[in-house]
């Protein structure tokens, strides 16, 4: 059974940092697209960042560029999202996602974690 378990969320002041972690089980990262979505209150879910299993191909949505860094540890089947200079508009539930090699890629994921809350106060 594929499972994605996020951790590392919380409350932080504007300008602060958080690092989200996602531990995967039930599959290996080989060939998968892994990444992060978020959903702010009253808004649709949006893809924030993706990475391939070798870690040499990454994608960042405009809100994440220059502030967020995605990384992967295949040995630990863990993907991270380092978020710096957080702003109130980053407040959202953040979801770890994964898409198998036969799928349509990280931005159209098959598997979702349960989500973790990130709240940024002004």
Give 44-96 pLDDT, tens digit per residue: 999 999 999 889 999 999 999 999 999 999 888 999 999 999 999 999 999 99
- CA–CA dist 120, 67 (Å, integer): 14
CA 76 to chain CA centroid, Å, is 16
Distance CA 14, CA 100 (A): 35
Give the residue from 116, 121, 104 showing the smallest Cα distance to 32.
104
d(CA 19, CA 22): 10
40-49: pLDDT as tens digits: 999 999 999 9
Give pLDDT, residue 18.
98
94 three-state secondary structure: strand
């Amino acid at each position: 059974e594929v499972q994605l378990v996020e951790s590392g969320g919380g409350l932080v002041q504007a300008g602060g940092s958080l690092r989200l972690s996602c531990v995967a089980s039930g599959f290996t990262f080989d060939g998968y697209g892994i990444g992060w979505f978020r959903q702010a209150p009253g808004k649709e879910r949006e893809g924030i960042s993706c990475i391939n299993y070798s870690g040499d191909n990454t994608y960042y949505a405009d809100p994440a560029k220059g502030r967020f860094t995605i990384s992967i540890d295949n040995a630990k089947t863990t993907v991270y999202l380092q978020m710096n200079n957080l702003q109130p508009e980053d407040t959202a539930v953040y979801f770890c996602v994964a898409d198998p090699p036969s799928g349509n890629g990280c931005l159209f994921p098959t598997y979702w974690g349960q989500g973790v809350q990130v709240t940024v106060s002004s």
